[in-house]
Structure 1
């Protein structure tokens, strides 16, 4: 049997109430159906996931395994994938219909690329979507430039697609990572091959109560935060171990700067569980201009120092007031600019009428 170009890998654990929409979005792709396969790895679900998927019949490959976490599910899925490119889709997200066609074109135009990633709308599960405020497009051989390395973002699972022959060099993903397995792959693939950022919106990231640290009404529980912190620590250890094992010098300035980003993310997660004192948070925020000094504009650097100082007066729980004021100021300035653009032609017309 001819192998498809794409293997769509969906790992699922007790997300049956969302999973059907994810599968339907994969089936609705405008890419030829004989050039794609859909693998659903059920990581020991107990919510009737298998029954929900029966209606799809042979349109999907359903793979059941005992519960082992995200890394375990990824490893099982990659081992069964036949496609040249493996595209990841979270069980609670959806793709837009032209996603695979766009990614196919990208890989064809960049035969050396090992990974692509793209923008995702933030989605409430109904009709409302928001623009992704954190997308940073980084392409090429990332480690060749420290400034590019510092901009390299942490991308969401559903925007990732890997050339299988490249990502296999990172497999199996350490199964200590019950979550953060996608972060392990994205953190390290840049040391193996170039990557390509696609600036199009090609999917929707669902916001709901179990999305940690998202803008939802529900706050993560202490247990969820503890789990995330534990996985962050495991991720950091596994990434460093892989780099050392493959001949990278962790003492180099570039890698020290790269790893500092992950350490700061871990510290920020911890603050959600145990709010830091004002001096501790001040020192944490003061570290950002040092970590990112090479890529910060003078204006951004000033803002970072101002935010650190504001933390001394407002504290962790009220620092959002500083960001809210900044956002409102930007919105006011944007609104004023739009009004000026409308007013200028009107004034010109009035002046012309006066002359005539």
Structure 2
């Protein structure tokens, strides 16, 4: 048995799943568990082909659809290794990634090792962007207790000590809120010990939703990362924080503040409310509804002055009565696909 298990959670991502499985199989020090969450595309057939070819190296689990939170709960219950990494089925690990992660775990008493991810597009082309854009300290608990969500990559860029994650999990399941399981793992585990943040990119984070698209009603909406519905994310984030507070209070005896501070969340709100809005509405929102946004920007403990000034400049472009400038600024803030050099302005 290896020291780490890569758990691939999949739901209807047959077009990306083979690349994710291949990238996990290329890791010499990792077991592989593939959990299919009730897919209705060709995912199961793909998993079976890999299982037939590689035998126990590809351990398949099939379940009824229950959402990402149920996949994390089940995966954590099934792993028998000391460490675990949850790889999204549309992402990839680079060769040697798990070797680097295990070396980092061996270098100190860490509960999580995170690493940067290269942002890739639907075809796997490197966009030039990296996530996260800042490096957190090893003691993220102190910052979290003040309500700040520390910089972390999405799910695929985090490996956990299983015992630490089990002290926080399982995630309470909800029929309404079934996504963003990595939120509870990333921030919950930070209260159990130190975190090691590697600066080198060891995987690819695939952003495959367009920068801009039209709704069924014909209105233009802005694509923010892989979000299907930006307003749903805005509404669900407070629920996530309240759920995390409940988990850490009942299982760790940690009392987190009632409110959280996170630039990523606030920028999503900014972009959702200002994109394609009239100049008057943009002015009104920035003058009267942007307090939390500017607090998360100017008070950000993870950014230097240069980055804050740059983002402030982009934000203030929204005050200019120019549709073109407004679109440019919000596309740049919202979606890393827009930042690649080949995108026409």
- TM superposition score normalised by structure 1: 0.74
Partner of 2:240: 235
Structure 2 matches for 1:181-260, cutoff 5 A? 181-209=181-209, 215=211, 220=223, 224-245=229-250, 246-251=252-257, 256=259, 258-259=260-261
8 Å contact from structure 2 (residues 120, 127) kept in 1: yes
Q: Tell me which of 96, 121, 127 is aligned to 2:118.
A: 121
Return the alpha-carbon distance in structure 2 between the equivalents of residues 208 and 260 of structure 1.
24
CA-atom RMSD in angstroms: 3.5
Q: Mean alpha-carbon deviation: is it higher for 270-279 or for 57-66?
A: 270-279
2:19 aligned residue? 21
Q: Relative to structure 1, is the Cα distance of residues 232 and 144 closer, same or farther in structure 2, using a 3 angstrom cutoff?
A: closer
State the secondary structure of the residue aligned to 1:204. Answer: strand
Residue 273 of structure 2 aligns with which residue? Answer: 271
Q: Which residue of 1 aligns with 2:40?
A: 46
Distance 1:308 1:265 in 2: 10
The number of residue pairs the alignment matches comes to 311
CA, structure 1 residues 286+77, in 2 after alignment: closer, same or farther (shift >3 Å)? Answer: same
CA distance in 1, matches of 2:310, 2:269: 21
Q: Per-residue deviation at 1:24?
A: 0.7
Tell me the residue number matched to 2:50.
56
Question: Separation in 2 of the partners of 1:241 and 1:48?
Answer: 38
Say which is worse superposed, 55-64 or 93-102, in terms of deviation: 55-64
Whichever structure has more strand as a proportion of its residues is 2
Q: Structure 1 CA distance, aligned partners of 2:294 and 2:274?
A: 22
Partner of 2:299: 293
**Which residue pairs with 1:165 in the alignment?**
163
3-state SS of the aligned residue for 1:104? Answer: helix
For 1:92 and 1:206, locate their aligned partners in 2 and report how far apart those are by CA, in whole Å: 6
d(CA) in 2 for partners of 1:233, 1:69: 19
Structure having the higher helix fraction is 1
**In the TM superposition, what is the alpha-carbon distance from 1:120 to its structure 2 partner?**
1.1
Q: Is the 8 A contact 1:178 1:231 kept in 2?
A: no
- Return the offset for 1:49: 1.3
Kindly indicate whether the alpha-carbon contact (under 8 Å) linking 2:315 and 2:329 is maintained by their aligned counterparts in 1.
no
Q: Does structure 2 retain, via aligned residues, the 8 Å contact 1:278–1:316?
A: no
Structure 1 alignment gaps of length 5 or more: 327-356
**Unmatched segments (≥5 aa) in structure 2:** 215-221, 334-345
CA distance, structure 1, for counterparts of residue 156 and residue 332 of structure 2: 33
Change (3 A) 1:266 1:321: closer
Q: Is the 8 A contact 1:289 1:301 kept in 2?
A: no
Quote the Cα distance in structure 2 between the aligned partners of 1:88 and 1:325: 29
Q: Describe the shift of the 1:265–1:303 C-alpha distance in structure 2 as closer, same or farther (beyond 3 A).
A: closer
The 1:280/1:131 distance shift into structure 2, 3 A limit, reads closer
For 1:315 and 1:235, how far apart are their aligned partners in 2? Answer: 36
Rg (Cα) greater in structure: 1
1:69 counterpart residue number = 67
Asked if 1:312 is matched to 2:319, the reply is yes
Once residues 148 and 203 of structure 1 are traced to their aligned partners in structure 2, the CA distance between those partners, rounded to angstroms, is 30
Q: Which residue number corresponds to residue 83 of structure 2?
A: 85
What does the per-residue CA deviation read over 1:19-61, in whole Å, with 9 as the maximum and x for residues that have no partner?
11111111112x24xxx31111110011121111222221211
Give the Cα separation in 1 of the matches to 2:332 and 2:81.
49
Q: 1:7 and 1:68 mapped to 2: Cα distance? A: 22
- Of residues 90, 95, 98, the one that matches 1:97 is 95
Displacement, 1:302? 5.2
- Measured after TM superposition, the shift of residue 75 of structure 1 is 0.8
When residues 193 and 316 of structure 1 are mapped into structure 2, their CA distance, relative to the original with a 3 A threshold, is farther
**Over residues 166-213 of structure 1, what are the superposed CA-to-partner deviations in whole Å (9 max), with x where a residue is unaligned?**
00012111222411110121122111111111111111112213xxxx
